[in-house]
């Protein structure tokens, strides 16, 4: 990492390996969300099962990266930027693992929905749209982490408001839907939980971007406004 004092090539390689593993975990989680939403829309039960089964791969990566971080903390006793990188990774993988859980939940809801009469199902356009934004946020957070790119991180924090608004819009739509035909209530709730899972994914991506700002600037931005973060980034 730029600006740090360590000279050991071996140490650099270890940090680089951890960073690469985080990006790999991020890629896996991204694919899990994409496939979960795809399976929901297509009704492909085999794909739903695959997403559910593959969650253990996400978990295994979390445990592995966590152990690498502990090893580095013990053996390398990193300071300043390197230490912030490690604590950022420890936090980031917790959020990635929870995004993985949300993907699994979406696949489970998709399974419940696939057993029902498709006749009463509302269209999934809105769900697809919200998940596209959440996926974009996740991708950008990983990019910001990889390239220490603060302006991308700030964009993600801003985008979170968009996902929240999508969620509220889906909820309003479902309420109308349920009121018009109370037989759709139970199905609509399952779709609502899918929307909620997507909203959570946005929250986790936002957390990840906030950690990036912290890693680079050494300033905690988790509990400040979007405007303050944007000012911080421009400084």
Nearer to its own copies, 83 or 121 (CB): 83
Give the integer Cα–Cα distance in Å for 145 and 156.
12
Nearer to its own copies, 46 or 115 (CB): 115
Give the integer Cα–Cα distance in Å for 120 and 104.
24
- Answer for the pair 221, 213: CB distance below 8 angstroms, yes or no: yes
CB of 62 to its own copies, least distance (A): 8
Contacts with its own copies, residue ranges (CB under 8 A):
56, 59-60, 62-63, 66-67, 69-70, 73-74, 77, 79-80, 83-84, 87, 90-91, 94, 171, 175, 178-179, 182-183, 185-186, 189, 192, 196, 220, 222-223
CB of 131 to its own copies, least distance (A): 19
**CA-based Rg of the chain, rounded to a whole angstrom?**
20
Strand, helix or coil for residue 94 = helix
Tokens 């050991």 sit at which residue? 8
For residue 29 the two structure tokens come to 């989680």
DSSP E strands: which ranges in the chain? none
Nearer to its own copies, 161 or 220 (CB): 220
CB of 200 to its own copies, least distance (A): 9
CB of 140 to its own copies, least distance (A): 21
Count CB-CB contacts under 10 A for residue 179.
Answer: 10
Nearer to its own copies, 75 or 147 (CB): 75
Nearer to its own copies, 2 or 74 (CB): 74
- Answer for the pair 15, 6: CB distance below 8 angstroms, yes or no: no
CB of 69 to its own copies, least distance (A): 8
Closest among 103, 109, 94 to 32, alpha carbons compared: 103
């Amino acid at each position: 990492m730029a600006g740090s004092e360590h000279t050991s090539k071996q140490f650099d390689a270890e940090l680089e390996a951890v960073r690469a593993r985080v990006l790999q975990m991020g890629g896996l989680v991204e694919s899990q969300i994409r496939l979960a939403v795809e399976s929901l829309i297509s009704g492909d039960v085999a794909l739903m099962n695959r997403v559910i089964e593959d969650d253990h791969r996400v978990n295994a990566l979390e445990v592995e990266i966590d152990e690498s971080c502990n090893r580095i903390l013990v053996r390398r006793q990193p300071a300043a930027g390197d230490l912030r990188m490690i604590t950022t990774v420890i936090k980031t993988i917790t959020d990635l693992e929870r995004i993985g859980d949300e993907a699994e939940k979406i696949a489970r809801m998709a399974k419940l929905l696939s057993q029902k009469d498709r006749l009463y199902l509302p269209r999934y356009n809105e769900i697809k749209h919200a998940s596209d934004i959440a996926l974009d946020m996740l991708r950008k957070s990983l990019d910001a982490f990889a390239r220490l790119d603060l302006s991308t991180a700030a964009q993600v924090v801003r985008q979170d408001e968009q996902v929240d608004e999508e969620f509220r819009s889906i909820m309003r739509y479902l309420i109308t839907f349920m009121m018009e035909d109370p037989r759709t209530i139970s199905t609509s709730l399952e779709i609502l939980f899918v929307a909620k899972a997507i909203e959570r994914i946005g929250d986790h991506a936002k957390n990840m971007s906030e950690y990036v700002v912290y890693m680079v600037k050494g300033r905690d931005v988790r509990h400040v406004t979007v405007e303050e973060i944007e000012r911080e980034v421009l400084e």
